[in-house]
Amino acid sequence: MTSMLERPVDLDGMRRGATGDSPAKRRLSRRSILGGIARHSLLIALLIVFLAPLFFIVTTALMTDQQALTSNLIPDPINWANFAEVFDRIPLVRYVANTVLIAVATTVFAIVSSVPVAYALATFKFKGRRALWIAIIAAMMLPPQVTIVPLYVMWAQVGAVGTPLPLIVPALFGDAFTIFLLRQFFVSVPRSYIDAARIDGAGEFRILWSVFMPMVRPAIVAAGLFAFFFAWNDFFNPLLYLGSNQEWYTLSIGLSQFRSVYAVQWNLAMAATLLFVLPVVVLFFFAQKQFVQGIALTGVKE
Amino acid sequence: MTAVASRTAGPGATRVRRGNPWRTRLTILAFLSPGIIGLAVFFVYPLAANLYYSFTRYDLVNPAQWAGFANYQFMFDGDRQIGTALRNTLVFCVVSVPVSLAFALGVASVLARIRSGAGIYRTLFYLPTLLPPVAAAMAFSFVLNPGTGPVNAILKFLGLPQPLWFHDPNLSQISLLMLTTWGVGNTIVIFLAAVNEVPQEQLEAAQIDGAGPLRRFWSITIPTISPVLLFATITGVIASLQLFSQPYVVSTVIGGGSGSAADNLGYPQNTLLFFTQVLYQQGFRYFNMGYAAALSMVLFAATLVVTVIMIAATRRGIHSEES
């Protein structure tokens, strides 16, 4: 699991660890061992602070009502019933179903519509390519609130406010971030395969489907994960478009309303939070490598 | 930003084979069509329409009425909320971006220098980033809850003062800063990838010449990763300008049990009132769509200015580096 994340060869460490023959070098390597200990201690101290909130979410989710009101940090007894109670208190199954449906549809649509665009941007030379690329980056960078008034008016006029359509349909027309990410992956694919297929007389659709797609499967998985997480985590758009219709509430909206319905039951609130987070964490652990590559690509210069 | 925007061609982008040029053009157009339609309908049109709406009075029921600069005038003269929100947003932006970038860069450069276990550390530092913003805000509302939260329980055990965190108008923004900095995992991963690209030979040469670790970091690492640093700064600034979910959830969850969630926006004492929340409230609670459009024009202008300044700064930075 973690070995996937490790850099393949730790050249850095090998160089520093090499036994030198001069005393100066030996002194350097002794210092580097001490430095290593210092670095590990620093990181572990930071991690304890960093991971403490996660620990508290888990422990509180397992506490009884009464214990959650005390300042006791370790659950005693462990109260698994909180998770079942969350299902009784809020329509969690419906929220999960809505969220899964919206996130899966968005992901599939965004990938299907963005792959050809990213492929064309990475492979063809054409007039206006630079302008299109800048427009895509601009669309990705601008806050969604900048275009929200006209979009809301648009969806209200077709009677789609209160349905998940405003959350799903735009993904059918290419998602700016997905296009950006895929294109960053695609430009690193060796061009010779495509050229060879062209010389053999294959059409562009055929090349994309049978030559290119099998080569870029990891990129598609990474971009798909990002699209899924964006949709799963999104709060602003569901709040806006579903706000009037509880039928279609997602987990974000359901969770954000937890307190207003059930005063101070933090144990239930934390149990619900855990249930919301769990699928994302599980997915992440299965696809860490793709994930990390995707993130690194969004910030690394070409 | 420039690094991303300026290189439009892939390394080996080839001109499509000759043959029927019209067919080729149509093929390219077919490939691009979802993106072009999407940009036109969900980006270019709304941007233009937003400008128009910002000069109107529009409540979604009655047709939009031309109002000239009334919305903008109200923003500067009449709206008492927006001044507070603007100040909160800018202060938070100016503090939170350097803090989170410095933290991420610090962790990344320490991570880049350890020999084993970097992958495990990176995974663990990334873990909080996996929490959806709403979940993270819920978690922090609880963890920093003055009465029953574990942080104050620990402080009490240690005999330290127990602050009111989100409930204290003087500490609410600092509490929010802790919450947003908690989700800094993406930036750590980006910086780690960049720091690992710094040529080892240069660092060793500098070390032999007697440069200390700080000097090496400042004179070699920082200039090498500056494009990534600037990209992260731009996206960080933009992200903090559009911050919405976390303050919304914190305010409404801890603000007290009122029926309408929007009533508690900004709790406590409007210290967590941010620009996008005023926009949301005006547009989608009070249905002052024209005024909300004017507010989003301001957000648009701010984003544009930030991006242009940063790009100009990058250009000059990279230029002087080359010469």
Name the H helices within chain B: 2-6, 21-39, 45-53, 70-77, 80-111, 118-126, 133-143, 150-157, 172-182, 185-196, 200-208, 213-216, 222-241, 245-254, 275-284, 289-322
Distance separating alpha carbons of residues A176 and A110, to the nearest angstrom: 9
pLDDT confidence of residue A276:
92
Is the pLDDT score of A51 beyond 80? yes
Task: Please give the ipTM for the structure prediction.
Answer: 0.87
The residue in chain A having the minimum alpha-carbon distance to the alpha carbon of residue B199 is: A12
Q: A17: pLDDT confidence band, cut at 50, 70 and 90?
A: very low
The residue in chain A having the minimum alpha-carbon distance to the alpha carbon of residue B292 is: A149
How far is B223 from chain A, CA to nearest CA, in Å? 13
* A11-40 as b/e: b if 16+ CB within 10 A: ebbeebeeeeeeeeeeeeeeebeebbeebb
Distance separating alpha carbons of residues B5 and B15, to the nearest angstrom: 20
The three state secondary structure string of chain A is: CCCCCCCCCCHHHHHHHCCCCCHHHHHHHHHHHHHHHHHHHHHHHHHHHHHHHHHHHHHHHCCCHHHHCCCCCCCCCCCCHHHHHHHHHCCHHHHHHHHHHHHHHHHHHHHHHHHHHHHHHHHCCCCCHHHHHHHHHHHHHCCHHHHHHHHHHHHHHCCCCCCCHHHHHHHHHCCHHHHHHHHHHHCCCCHHHHHHHHHCCCCHHHHHHHHHHHHCHHHHHHHHHHHHHHHHHCCHHHHHHHCCCHHHCCHHHHHHCHHHHCCCCHHHHHHHHHHHHHHHHHHHHHCHHHHHHHHHHHHCCC
Two tokens, residue A220 = 């598609």
- Among A5-9, A76-80, B104-108, B252-256, the range of highest mean pLDDT: B104-108
Q: Pick the closest to residue B104 from A228, A46, A78, A183 (CA basis).
A: A46
Does residue B223 or residue A244 have the better pLDDT?
A: B223
Q: Which residues from chain A sit within 8 angstroms of residue B206, using beta carbons?
A: none
Q: Pick the closest to residue A7 from B38, B313, B98, B113 (CA basis).
A: B113
How far is B168 from chain A, CA to nearest CA, in Å? 19
Predicted confidence (pLDDT) per residue in A23-32, tens digit: 555 666 777 7
Torsion of CA B252, B255, B257, B263, to 10 degrees: -60
pTM greater than the 0.80 cutoff: yes
Compute φ and ψ for A5, nearest 5 degrees.
-80, -25
Contact assignment for B244 to A154 by CB distance below 8 Å:
no
* Residue from A99, A146, A167, A225 to probe the interface with B (highest B Cβ count within 10 Å): A146
Q: Exposed, middle or buried by CB within 10 Å (0-12, 13-18, 19+), for B160?
A: exposed
The residue in chain A having the minimum alpha-carbon distance to the alpha carbon of residue B10 is: A187
> Could you read off the pLDDT tens digit of each residue along chain B, which spans 323 residues?
334 444 444 444 455 455 678 888 899 999 999 999 999 999 999 999 999 999 999 999 999 999 999 999 999 888 889 999 999 999 999 999 999 999 999 999 999 988 888 889 999 999 999 999 999 999 999 999 988 889 999 999 999 999 999 999 999 999 999 999 999 999 999 999 999 989 989 988 998 998 888 899 999 999 999 888 988 998 999 999 999 999 999 998 887 655 555 568 888 889 999 999 999 999 999 999 999 999 999 999 999 998 888 778 777 665 444 43
Contact assignment for A117 to B15 by CB distance below 8 Å:
no
Does residue A65 or residue A224 have the better pLDDT?
A: A224
* Residue from B114, B196, B281 to probe the interface with A (highest A Cβ count within 10 Å): B114
Q: Is the Cβ of B41 closer than 8 Å to some Cβ of chain A?
A: yes
Contact assignment for A145 to B279 by CB distance below 8 Å:
yes
Q: Which residues from chain A sit within 8 angstroms of residue B10, using beta carbons?
A: 122-123, 186-188, 191
Two tokens, residue A264 = 């101070």
Q: A10: pLDDT confidence band, cut at 50, 70 and 90?
A: very low
Distance separating alpha carbons of residues A78 and A74, to the nearest angstrom: 9
Is the pLDDT score of A34 beyond 90? no
> Where on the phi/psi map is residue A93: left (φ > 0), alpha (ψ -120 to 50), or beta?
alpha
Q: What is the full DSSP assignment across B1-28?
A: -HHHHH--S-TT--PPPSS-HHHHHHHH
Is the pLDDT score of A4 beyond 80? no
Which amino acid, residue B11?
P
Q: Which residues from chain B sit within 8 angstroms of residue A13, using beta carbons?
A: 115-116
* B293-323 as b/e: b if 16+ CB within 10 A: bbbbbbbbebbeebbeebbebbeeebeeeee
Q: Is B118:B193 a contact under the CB 8 Å cutoff?
A: no
Q: Which residues from chain B sit within 8 angstroms of residue A232, using beta carbons?
A: 132
The residue in chain A having the minimum alpha-carbon distance to the alpha carbon of residue B133 is: A233
Predicted confidence (pLDDT) per residue in A134-170, tens digit: 999 999 999 999 999 999 999 999 999 999 999 999 9
Angle, vertex CA A245, rays to CA A244 and CA A247, nearest 5: 165
Distance separating alpha carbons of residues B233 and B310, to the nearest angstrom: 8
pLDDT confidence of residue B262:
57
Interface size between A and B, measured as CB pairs under 8 A: 361
**CB nearest A187 (choices: B11, B116, B235):** B11
Q: Exposed, middle or buried by CB within 10 Å (0-12, 13-18, 19+), for B52?
A: middle
Contact assignment for B119 to A148 by CB distance below 8 Å:
no
Q: State the sign of the Cα–Cα–Cα–Cα dihedral B88, B94, B97, B99.
A: negative
pLDDT confidence of residue A9:
33
How far is B59 from chain A, CA to nearest CA, in Å? 10
Q: Is it true that the peptide bond before A190 is cis, omega within 30 degrees of 0?
A: no
pLDDT confidence of residue B78:
80
Distance separating alpha carbons of residues A127 and A113, to the nearest angstrom: 21
**CB nearest A56 (choices: B35, B143, B242):** B143
The residue in chain A having the minimum alpha-carbon distance to the alpha carbon of residue B141 is: A266
**CB nearest B35 (choices: A141, A153, A179):** A179
Q: What is the mean pLDDT of chain A?
A: 85
**CB nearest A143 (choices: B193, B292, B303):** B303
Distance separating alpha carbons of residues B168 and B161, to the nearest angstrom: 14
Give chain B's radius of gyration (CA, Å). 24
